[in-house]
């Protein structure tokens, strides 16, 4: 006589089969979530890199027209520099907690020589840069890791929640 085997319902699954399927789905979900999150950060960083390229082109076009770099600014693009940017360009992206700043340290040579010497030694003579600031360290790290592939032969510095892309 054969041992007694539990009978399967004609159109259903046993509790053990359902439990195994749920465990497999949970394992697959936990493996895929980090790659999805990394993809989101890489997408945001790629957008920021495109904005940096726009900023760089605007600065070089300004330099071509005026033979001087724009002055440093934080929130508002100066009027004489504004028309070099697309109308949709914004220096602050609140939903990502990102702010751009334009850095022109050439005027420090005359006004603050001690600061100028420390800047020169730190940045090897670069005087103009674009800073991207965010409290989201992971976004800045992703941006910093992608930037060398996007901007070849340029100086890129990272300090906490800020990355500086040196132009000249």
**Domain chopping of the chain, boundaries:** 15-166
Token pair listed for 96: 């990502």
Cα distance between residue 128 and residue 137, in whole Å: 24
Q: Of 73, 145, 133, 127, which Cα lies nearest the Cα of 97?
A: 133
- Tokens 């040196």, located at residue: 166
Predicted TM-score (pTM) of the model is: 0.70
Which residues, given as ranges, of the chain have pLDDT below 50? none
SS3 of residue 90 by DSSP: coil
pLDDT per position as a tens digit, 110-127? 666 666 566 565 655 567
């Amino acid at each position: 006589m054969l041992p007694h085997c539990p009978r399967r319902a004609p159109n259903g699954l046993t509790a053990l089969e359902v439990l195994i399927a749920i465990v497999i789905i949970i394992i697959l979900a936990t493996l895929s979530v980090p790659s999805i999150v990394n993809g989101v950060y890489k997408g945001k960083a790629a957008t920021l890199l495109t904005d940096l390229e726009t900023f760089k082109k605007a600065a070089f076009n300004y330099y071509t027209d005026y033979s001087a770099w724009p002055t440093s600014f934080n929130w508002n693009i100066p009027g004489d520099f504004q028309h070099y940017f697309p109308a949709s360009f914004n220096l602050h992206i609140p939903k990502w907690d990102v702010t751009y700043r334009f850095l022109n340290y050439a005027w420090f040579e005359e006004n603050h020589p001690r600061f100028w010497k420390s800047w020169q030694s730190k940045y090897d003579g670069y005087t103009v840069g674009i800073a991207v600031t965010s409290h989201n360290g992971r976004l800045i790290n992703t941006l910093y890791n992608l930037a060398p592939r996007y901007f070849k032969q340029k100086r890129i510095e990272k300090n906490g929640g800020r990355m500086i892309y040196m132009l000249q």
